[in-house]
Structure 1
Amino acid sequence: MKKEDLMKRFKLLVMVNTVFIFLGFQTVFAAGNGIVVFQSDFGLRDQAVSAMHGVALGVDKNLKVEDLTHDIPAYNIWEGAYRLDAVADFWPEHTVFVSVVDPGVGSDRKSVVLKTKTNHYFVTPDNGTLTLVAKRLGIAEVREIDEKVNRLEGSEASHTFHGRDVYAYTGARLAANKISFEKVGPKLPAEVLNIQYESARIEGNTLIGGIPILDPAYGNVWTNVPMDLLLKLSKVKDYVELYTQPFSITITQSGKTVLLKAITFERSFAGVQEGEPLLYVNSLENLALALNQDNFANKFNISAGGEWRIEIRAR
């Protein structure tokens, strides 16, 4: 065979191999990116979180294993839902979140993996934990975990630690490309169990929203009302125009009024005297309430969850 023909064949072989390698990388990347993020209400006083980390690394020691929080109040599904939604899109596509706030462990509640339209994966019981990410990021597909296939070997007799035996194991296998999303289990309707809550909106001259969470360190009251709705309500283009302006704030729990107070909108806590209230924009660019160097939630007996509602009106 001529030297020229050999060179042509060699170049063709290199090109073919390059294409196969590229397609292989594409396929792997499409299935996961090697990142698992854990959340739970376990706390860090015992071995539970370490066990989940160990299971994940047992699947693939090269996985990047991170924690969102393990300080969700016990059984507080709503707070678990909020914390997931607050951080999800700061993480790269194909990140796998494993959330275990599971008061119904061992019952007939479904164990699922949600794939959002942003290509993030959420491994969790379908108990309301997915309420917020499903609505904001959109549902691409939901699959029920087939525990006959996706369960830590040797754990079959245990029915009280699905976080370790089912969720951590399945999430790690998905992130490490040991299984495709289709291998998680059977496809379910594109819906999840939802917790009812007040969505942010304008009705007439009133801005309405919910109180999804409290700032645990300082007792600030965080709403789900985005800053741009306040601009729309006030008919201004720049929030700077609203500094020092008072707004009428009404907070209710299950329809019962807990707080009715005039509070000024400020740039930061320093805009008011120590101990005085303010309305401000928090780090998620939503409206929030605080007392300068004091605890707003404690002083006015305010908590968070789907039954809490805030109304804001210009004065």
Structure 2
Amino acid sequence: MSNNYLVLQTDFGLVDGAVSAMYGVAYTVSPTISIENLTHDIPPYDIWVASYRLYQTVKYWPVGTVFVSVVDPGVGSERQSVVAKTKSGHYIITPDNGSLTHISHYDGLEEVRLIDEVKSRLPHSEESHTFHGRDIYAYNGARMASGEVTFEELGSVTDVDNIQKLEITDSTLDGTIMKGSIDVLDVRFGSLWTSIPSTFMKEIDIEHGNSLQVTIYHDNKKVYQNIMKFAKSFADVNVGEPLVYVNSLVNLGVAVNQDSFSDLYNIGTGDEWKIEIRKAPKIIFD
């Protein structure tokens, strides 16, 4: 059951009235719901980042919270709209374009329903086909958050395995080599958030203060390699020095103290960006 919270995520930015219109529609449905922002600064059309930000955030909200995520390069096309119930008891309304990838992969989806875009939409919006964030997602998100409709009433069940998913490569521990992908940036600071769980460090007896060899690949081509400290905090290394640390999702991150690792070395994110981390031997790079 929903709990009156509606949390919005888009790639719209705040430079025009798009997000405000979503708020207005939601409050018109119910002036008593509580509307909050996850972010409106997803890079334009970047479904991968939208998916990751949901994974990063949803579990920290009360059970029953309704999320609306609108990063929708296929708006107006044949792509479908869905509402998902996660195994943690949260709800997400979003285009079926891969936005549920990370939550489905790591946390699990209990059930997914298809939203009828003809019947379940803002009244008198039938002629508009390019602002589903307002006309379908914010509208139905508010209806769910306020209790006007239930999850079950909002659409017909579809097989969880049939929804669109982006490719994810699971992290592995290959002997003493930890392998994963660079999933997303800590945007303000340019740090790299990897898919490698910090539990791997314990399995191969790596402790804070150890030196690590970090290698980064883009489309299987080596683009970066260096030795850096496994630090408990950024203050454990000098300004301008790189480090490996444990991020807020308890995965490994790579950063430069008081600079942007991503900008300095032109490192991007997504499944085509791979990273390997191992305890650094006292030898020249192999």
Q: Report how far residue 181 of structure 1 moved.
A: 1.3
Q: Distance in 2 between matches of 1:310 and 1:193?
A: 26
Amino acid at match of 1:121: Y
**Moved >6 Å (runs of 4+):** none
Residues 95 and 120 in structure 1, CA contact (< 8 A), matched pair in contact too? yes
Matched, 1:255 2:225: no
Rounded Cα–Cα distance in structure 1 between residues aligned with 2:259 and 2:183: 20
**3-state SS of the aligned residue for 1:94?**
coil
1:119 aligns with 2:89: yes
Q: May I ask how many residue pairs the two structures share in their alignment?
A: 279
- Unaligned 5+ segments in structure 1 are 1-29, 237-241
Decide whether the 8 Å contact of 1:279 with 1:288 is kept in 2.
Answer: yes
Supply the AA of the counterpart residue of 1:271. D
Q: Rg: which structure is higher?
A: 1
Would you say the 8 A contact 1:198–1:308 is kept in 2? no
Aligned AA (1:291): V
- Whether 1:189 aligns to 2:159 is yes
Q: Name the structure 2 match of 1:34.
A: 4
Q: Which residue of 2 aligns with 1:87?
A: 57
- Residue of structure 2 equivalent to 1:233: 204
Over aligned residues, Cα RMSD in angstroms?
A: 1.2
Q: Equivalences for 1:60-79 in 2 at 5 Å?
A: 60-79=30-49
Give the match for residue 136 of structure 1. Answer: 106
TM-score (norm 2): 0.94
SS at the partner of 2:106?
Answer: helix
Q: Partners of 1:134 and 1:175 in 2: how far apart?
A: 22
Deviation at 1:63, TM superposition (A): 0.5
Pick from 119, 135, 153 the counterpart of residue 123 of structure 2: 153
Among residues 248, 251, 262, which one is paired with 1:297 in the alignment?
262
Q: Which residue of 2 aligns with 1:287?
A: 252
Matched, 1:50 2:20: yes
SS at match of 1:212: strand
TM-superposed CA distance for 1:283, in Å, is 2.2
User: Does the 8 Å CA contact 1:143/1:188 hold for their aligned counterparts?
Assistant: yes
Amino acid at match of 1:193: Q
Work out whether residues 219 and 295 of structure 1, in 8 Å CA contact, stay in contact via their aligned partners in 2: yes
Give the equivalent residue in structure 1 for 2:274.
Answer: 309
* TM-score, structure 1 as length reference: 0.86
The equivalences for 1:263-274 within 5 A come to 263-274=228-239
Give ranges in structure 2 of 5+ residues lacking alignment: 281-286
1:205 aligns with 2:170: no
Name the structure 2 match of 1:278. Answer: 243
139-148 or 194-203, which moves further after superposition? 194-203
Identity of paired residues, percent?
48
Cα shift at 1:284: 2.2
Find the residue that maps to 2:195 and give its secondary structure.
strand
SS at match of 1:186: strand
CA distance in 1, matches of 2:64, 2:24: 21
Deviation at 1:268, TM superposition (A): 1.5
Higher strand share: 2
Contact 2:118 2:126 in 1 (8 A): no
* Matched residue, 2:133: 163
Conservation of the 8 A alpha-carbon contact between 1:202 and 1:233: no
Equivalent pair of 2:215/2:225 in contact (CA under 8 Å): yes
